[in-house]
Amino acid sequence: MKYTVASLFAGIGGICKAFENSGANVIWANEIDEYACQTYRLNMQETELIEGDICDIDEATLPDFDILTAGFPCQSFSIAGYQKGFNDDRGNLFFETLRFINAKKPRAFLLENVKNLVSHDHGKTFRIIMESLKNSGCLIKYRIMNSMQYGNIPQNRERIYIIGFRTKKDFDKFVLPSPIPLRCNVGDIININDRKDDKYYYTQSSKFYELLTESVAKEYVIYQLRRTYVRENKSGVCPTLTANMGTGGNNVPIIKDNFGIRKLTPEECFKFQGFSGIDIPKGVSNSQLYKQAGNSITVPVVERIAMNIVDALDGKNLNNYIHDLYPAQKDGTQLSFDCIMETVLEKNQYTCSA
């Protein structure tokens, strides 16, 4: 069965693309940012996109759907956003999501936010969210997942994913994804032999040029320019991409290629979010594209969650399903779930899509 999906705070369509890749049909979406809508429409042409404020949308006007997704604004819960929480209008947009859950009663939903949501206001914010969802009659599972541990994407990006189901039958069938080895590296995404537009390179006219030339020495290593120093990301992955990249200045991560020291391009940032072959609309500024990349999700992470949601709604228990594919060994013992996942990965089920 091809399940239908509606998406709130859809952005450029990262979550929608993940569900589409998992075999679902994304029929409706809402996004307020006009530039994000341009990118969304170019890449999700079959989906009805409503551009505008979610507060102005009557839930009764939505078509029926099986799954609801929402990456409700995270700035009010993040460290970068000063952690105002429900005291910020953006934080209260969670209750708009709840309004749609209560009205439409989807079989399943997926919510995404920054990991700081769990600890915000000493855990009170998260407790309110969990209690509100449970009071709506939903059964909940959640996990903080890092893109480099759950998506085979070399970006250090931790996000919380909250998955809810209307029935215990579907809830019991759903299995949260397990960590997988990181096989994709920075060199799979960055081509140091490919010269980019001059505007991305630092030149002697930059006040940071001397500092950068002294500090940025390694290829395939991503750096961050701080006010008085340059930080090398020694983990071998890209640091968390943020919406602040779109504000200008020195928020965009830095790489050294064979032509100089430069910022990552918007296209490279999209690749570090796991987008493959994204179409970029003409006339949209780089600042907006950086903002879009930083606001998005890592597609392969959500795709793994989406696949498991679809399997649960189909009545498949992932543990039983995989054990059917990999039956007991000759001595009668059953491989552990993690060992089986490692076997699947060895067969290149998850590959770097950059």
| 325 within a domain of the structure (yes/no) | no
Structural domain containing residue 201: 186-283
Token pair, residue 103, equals: 């009205």
| 343 within a domain of the structure (yes/no) | no
| 347 within a domain of the structure (yes/no) | no
Q: What is the pLDDT along the chain (354 residues), one digit of tens a residue?
A: 799 999 999 999 999 999 999 999 999 999 999 999 999 999 999 999 999 999 999 999 999 999 999 998 855 444 444 444 445 444 478 999 999 999 999 999 999 999 999 998 888 889 999 999 999 999 999 999 999 999 999 999 999 999 999 999 999 999 999 999 999 999 999 999 999 999 999 999 999 999 999 999 999 999 999 878 999 999 999 999 999 998 876 789 999 999 999 999 999 999 999 998 899 999 999 999 999 999 999 999 999 999 999 999 999 876 555 544 555 554 444 455 555 555 544 444 445 654
**Torsion on CA atoms 130, 98, 296, 299, rounded to nearest 10:** 70
| 327 within a domain of the structure (yes/no) | no
| 350 within a domain of the structure (yes/no) | no
Are residues 98 and 136 both part of a single domain? yes
Q: What is the pTM for the complete model shown?
A: 0.88
CATH at residue 138: 3.40.50.150
Are residues 17 and 155 both part of a single domain? yes
Residue 295: burial class (beta carbons within 10 Å; 0-12, 13-18, 19+): buried
| 351 within a domain of the structure (yes/no) | no
Are residues 225 and 109 both part of a single domain? no
CATH at residue 196: 3.90.120
Q: In which residue are the tokens 């969650």 written?
A: 305
Task: Write out the DSSP string of 200-241.
Answer: GB--TTSTTHHHHHHH---TT--EEE-SS-EEE-TTSSBPPP
pLDDT attached to residue 352: 64
Boundary-marking domain end, from 240, 261, 283: 283
Q: What is the pLDDT of residues 210-259, one digit of tens each?
A: 999 999 999 999 999 987 899 999 999 999 999 999 887 678 999 999 99
Are residues 165 and 199 both part of a single domain? no
> Under 8 Å CB-to-CB from 327, ≥6 apart: which residues?
none
| 9 within a domain of the structure (yes/no) | yes
pLDDT attached to residue 115: 93
Are residues 166 and 134 both part of a single domain? yes
- DSSP code for 177: P
pLDDT attached to residue 1: 77
Beta strand pairing status for 108-114 and 67-70?
parallel
CA distance 354 to 351: 9
- Nearest Cα residue to 164 out of 59, 96, 70, 78: 70
Token pair, residue 49, equals: 């996109």
Are residues 164 and 259 both part of a single domain? no
Other Cβ atoms within 10 Å of 289 Cβ, number = 23
Are residues 32 and 100 both part of a single domain? yes
Domain count for the chain, please give it.
2
Q: In which residue are the tokens 């075999």 written?
A: 23
pLDDT attached to residue 316: 86
pLDDT attached to residue 139: 98
E strand or H helix that includes residue 108:
strand 108-114
Catalytic residue among 16, 37, 74, 352: 74
Q: In which residue are the tokens 């959500």 written?
A: 302
Are residues 149 and 276 both part of a single domain? no
Are residues 216 and 271 both part of a single domain? yes
Q: Which residues share a beta bridge with 165?
A: 108, 139
Are residues 172 and 199 both part of a single domain? no
Are residues 66 and 174 both part of a single domain? yes
Are residues 242 and 209 both part of a single domain? yes
Is 74 among the residues known to form the active site? yes
pLDDT attached to residue 226: 85
pLDDT attached to residue 250: 75
The end-to-end CA distance of the chain, in Å, is: 30
